[in-house]
C-alpha cells in the first residue's frame, strides 16, 4: 500500500496545500490502488482519469491567493453512480441508463469541483439506489473489504467500500433510508446524513426532507472537510441555508465531550437486534460513562415512524421511477417496480397523514434534544451479511416485512430530520465492523462534529482503515 493511500484526507489536503505532494501524484496513487484492489471488491465502476488529470493541471496553474479555507487543492474523490459528472457515464445501476453519458454535472459535483476536488470515478450502487445491498445488473455486486464474502450494504456501498480499501480519500453519498449510514457501518468508515437542505440539491420534489446528499470519508475530521465543500445556499433548493455556515472542519478539530448522552440499542421499534450489536452499544455507553459523561437509556417515541416513512418514500417513487414503468418494466428489478406501484396505490389522504405524523416526530425529537446532546444507536440491527443475499429477510428467527424491514433503525431516524454521523462502533468476534448512528440536535451539525470527534478519539477505531481486501 502506497504511503499516500494511508494519509487521511485532512493530511492529504494539508500536504497538497503546502506543495509537498501534487494532485497528479495522488491521482496516480489512487489509480494504482484501484487497479490493485477493485477486482476483489468492485467498488469503482467507471473511471475518468484523463478528465481528472486535465482538471488537476488546471488547478495547478491557478493562483492560490483567493482559495477559501474549504478548498481541497486537487484531492481525488469518487462520486456515487446516481450523481452526474459531466461527460462521464452515469447509470444509476440500471440497464435503463446503461449507456447514458451525463450532459452536465450535478450541483453537488459542481460545488466540490469549485472547491478544488478532482473526480476520478464513479462508485457502485443498487439499481436507482433502492436497497441495503449494493448489486445491479450492469456492474454486479460490491463486496466488503473486511470480508469479500460479505455485503458492503447500500445504497452508497461502492463509496464506503472504496474508502475502506483506500481507493479514494473522500466519496459522495446520498441517504434516504440509511444509504450513507449502513454502508459506513458495514465498512468501518464515517459518513454524515446532514439536516435536509444543508447540501443543496435540485430535486423533482423540492420540499422532500427525506432524501439528502452527504459526505463519506474515513474519519470524522475528513467528513467535516468534505462537508465544508458541499454545504451552503443555492436558490434552486428552498431548504438550503442562507445564513453563513461555520467551518465544520474547525468544529471537528476541537473535540468536545457531550454532557448528557442518550443510548438505545433498538429505539423501541426494532423487532430484533443482534446480540453483538447490542454488546457494542453497551460497550460504547460504558466507555462514555467511565469518561465522566452522563449516559441514560432513552429515545424519542418513534412508534409510527416506520410505516409513515414507507408511505412518504412511496410518494417520492412516483416522481422518481413510476414514469419508467410503461416503457422499461421488464428491465427494472422487482423491488423498484414494487416501490413505484406501492406509491401509485397510495391515496392523497395517506400521504398527507404521513406528513402530519412526520411533523409530530420532528417536534418530539426537538423536545428530546432539549435534554440530551446526542442520541447513540446502532446503524444496523445486524452485522454485515452474505453478499449473495438480496436483503436480510430475517434475523435470529425474526422475519422482516419487505426488503426494507431490516433497515428500520436508519429509516425511522430519517423521520426526525436531525443530522446523523455514522461512524465505527466496534467489531464482531469474527472481525466484521459494527457501526453507530450519532444523532445530533436539529440543524446541529457544528456541535455534532465536535462531539463525534470526541467519540472517535475515545473509541480509537478510525485508524484501522484503509485495509487490503480479504
Q: What's the pTM value of the predicted model, to 2 decimals?
A: 0.98
Count how many Cα atoms sit within 13 Å of the Cα of residue 70 in the half-sphere of its side chain: 21
d(CA 401, CA 230): 35
What pLDDT shows up at residue 466? 98
Contact 196, 417 (CB under 8 A): yes
What pLDDT shows up at residue 66? 76
Of the candidates 153, 155, 190, 280, the residue annotated as catalytic is 155
Between helices 275-290 and 445-459, what is the axis angle to 10°? 100
d(CA 205, CA 269): 29
Least Cα distance to 334 among 196, 153, 128, 173 occurs for 128
d(CA 124, CA 128): 11
The three-state secondary structure class of 216 is strand
Per DSSP (E only), the strands in 330-427 are 374-378, 394-395, 398-399, 420-427
Residue 328, domain member (yes or no): no
Domain range holding 66? Answer: 3-307+335-464
d(CA 180, CA 157): 8
What pLDDT shows up at residue 175? 98
Per DSSP (E only), the strands in 124-169 are 135-136, 140-141, 143-144, 147-151
d(CA 241, CA 198): 6
What's the order of all strands across the beta sheet hosting 212-217? 44-47, 117-123, 75-80, 170-175, 212-217, 190-193, 420-427, 433-439, 374-378, 260-263, 294-297
Residue 434, domain member (yes or no): yes
d(CA 190, CA 220): 6
What pLDDT shows up at residue 187? 98
Q: Per-10-residue mean pLDDT for the chain, 470 residues long? A: 97 97 98 98 98 97 86 98 98 98 98 98 98 98 98 98 98 98 98 98 94 98 98 97 96 98 98 98 98 98 98 96 95 96 98 98 98 98 98 98 97 98 98 98 98 98 96
3-state helix, strand and coil shares in percent for the chain, rounded to the nearest 5: 40, 15, 40
What pLDDT shows up at residue 200? 98
Phi/psi for 247 (5° steps) reads -80, 110
What pLDDT shows up at residue 157? 98
| Cβ-Cβ contacts under 8 Å for 34 (sequence gap 6 or more) | 44, 47, 121, 162, 167
Residue 400, domain member (yes or no): yes
Of the candidates 80, 122, 333, 441, the residue annotated as catalytic is 80
Residue 115, domain member (yes or no): yes
Of the candidates 105, 179, 190, 240, the residue annotated as catalytic is 179
Residue 326, domain member (yes or no): no
* Helix count and strand count (H, E) for the chain: 16, 17
What pLDDT shows up at residue 63? 79
Q: What is the DSSP letter of 122?
A: E
What pLDDT shows up at residue 64? 80
CATH number at residue 390: 3.90.1300.10
Q: What is the DSSP letter of 318?
A: H
Strand-pair category, 143-144 with 147-151? antiparallel
Contact 62, 139 (CB under 8 A): no
Q: Which long-range contacts (CB under 8 A, 24 or more apart) does 271-274 make?
A: 271/398, 271/400, 271/408, 272/381, 272/395, 272/396, 272/397, 272/398, 273/378, 273/381, 273/382, 274/381, 274/382, 274/383, 274/395, 274/396
Give how many domains the chain has, as a whole number: 1
155 included as an active-site residue: yes
What pLDDT shows up at residue 300? 98
Amino acid at each position: 500500500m502506497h504511503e499516500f493511500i494511508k494519509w487521511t484526507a485532512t493530511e492529504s489536503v494539508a500536504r497538497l496545500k503546502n506543495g509537498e505532494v501534487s494532485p497528479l501524484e495522488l491521482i496516480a496513487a489512487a489509480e494504482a490502488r484501484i487497479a490493485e484492489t477493485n477486482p476483489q471488491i468492485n467498488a469503482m465502476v467507471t473511471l475518468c482519469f484523463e478528465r481528472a488529470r486535465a482538471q488537476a493541471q488546471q488547478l495547478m496553474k491557478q493562483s492560490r491567493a483567493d482559495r477559501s479555507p474549504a478548498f481541497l487543492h486537487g484531492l481525488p474523490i469518487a462520486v456515487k453512480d446516481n450523481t452526474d459528472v459531466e461527460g462521464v457515464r452515469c447509470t444509476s445501476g440500471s440497464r435503463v441508463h446503461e449507456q447514458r453519458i451525463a450532459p452536465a454535472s450535478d450541483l453537488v459535483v459542481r460545488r466540490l469541483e469549485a472547491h478544488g476536488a478532482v473526480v476520478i470515478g464513479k462508485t457502485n450502487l443498487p439499481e436507482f439506489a433502492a436497497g441495503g445491498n449494493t448489486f445491479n445488473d450492469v456492474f454486479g455486486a460490491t463486496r466488503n473489504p473486511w470480508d469479500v464474502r460479505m455485503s458492503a450494504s447500500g445504497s452508497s456501498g461502492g463509496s464506503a467500500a472504496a474508502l475502506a480499501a483506500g481507493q479514494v480519500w473522500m466519496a459522495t453519498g446520498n441517504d434516504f433510508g440509511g444509504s450513507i449510514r449502513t454502508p459506513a457501518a458495514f465498512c468501518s468508515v464515517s459518513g454524515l446524513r446532514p439536516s435536509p437542505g444543508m447540501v443543496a440539491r435540485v430535486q423533482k420534489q423540492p420540499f422532500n426532507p427525506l432524501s439528502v446528499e452527504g459526505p463519506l470519508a474515513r474519519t470524522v475530521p475528513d467528513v467535516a472537510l468534505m462537508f465544508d465543500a458541499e454545504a451552503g445556499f443555492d436558490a434552486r433548493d428552498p431548504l438550503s441555508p442562507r445564513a453563513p455556515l461555520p467551518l465544520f472542519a474547525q468544529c471537528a478539530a476541537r473535540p468536545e465531550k457531550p454532557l448528557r448522552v442518550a443510548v438505545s440499542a433498538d429505539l423501541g421499534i426494532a423487532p430484533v437486534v443482534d446480540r453483538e450489536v447490542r454488546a457494542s452499544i453497551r460497550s460504547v455507553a460504558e466507555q462514555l460513562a467511565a469518561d465522566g459523561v452522563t449516559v441514560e437509556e432513552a429515545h424519542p417515541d418513534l412508534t409510527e415512524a416506520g410505516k409513515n416513512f414507507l408511505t412518504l418514500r412511496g410518494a417520492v417513487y412516483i416522481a422518481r421511477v413510476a414514469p419508467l414503468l410503461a416503457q422499461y418494466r421488464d428491465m427494472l428489478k422487482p423491488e423498484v417496480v414494487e416501490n413505484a406501484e406501492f406509491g401509485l396505490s397510495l391515496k392523497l389522504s395517506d400521504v398527507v397523514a404521513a406528513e402530519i405524523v412526520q411533523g409530530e416526530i420532528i417536534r418530539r425529537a426537538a423536545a428530546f434534544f432539549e435534554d440530551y446532546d446526542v442520541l447513540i444507536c446502532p446503524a444496523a440491527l445486524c452485522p454485515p451479511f452474505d453478499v449473495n443475499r438480496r436483503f436480510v429477510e430475517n434475523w435470529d428467527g425474526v422475519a422482516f416485512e419487505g426488503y426494507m424491514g431490516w433497515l428500520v433503525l436508519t429509516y425511522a431516524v430519517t423521520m426526525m430530520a436531525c443530522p446523523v454521523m455514522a461512524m465505527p462502533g466496534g467489531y464482531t468476534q469474527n472481525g466484521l465492523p459494527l457501526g453507530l448512528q450519532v444523532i445530533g440536535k436539529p440543524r446541529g451539525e457544528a456541535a455534532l462534529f465536535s462531539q463525534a470527534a470526541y467519540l472517535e478519539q475515545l473509541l480509537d477505531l478510525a485508524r484501522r482503515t484503509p485495509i487490503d481486501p480479504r
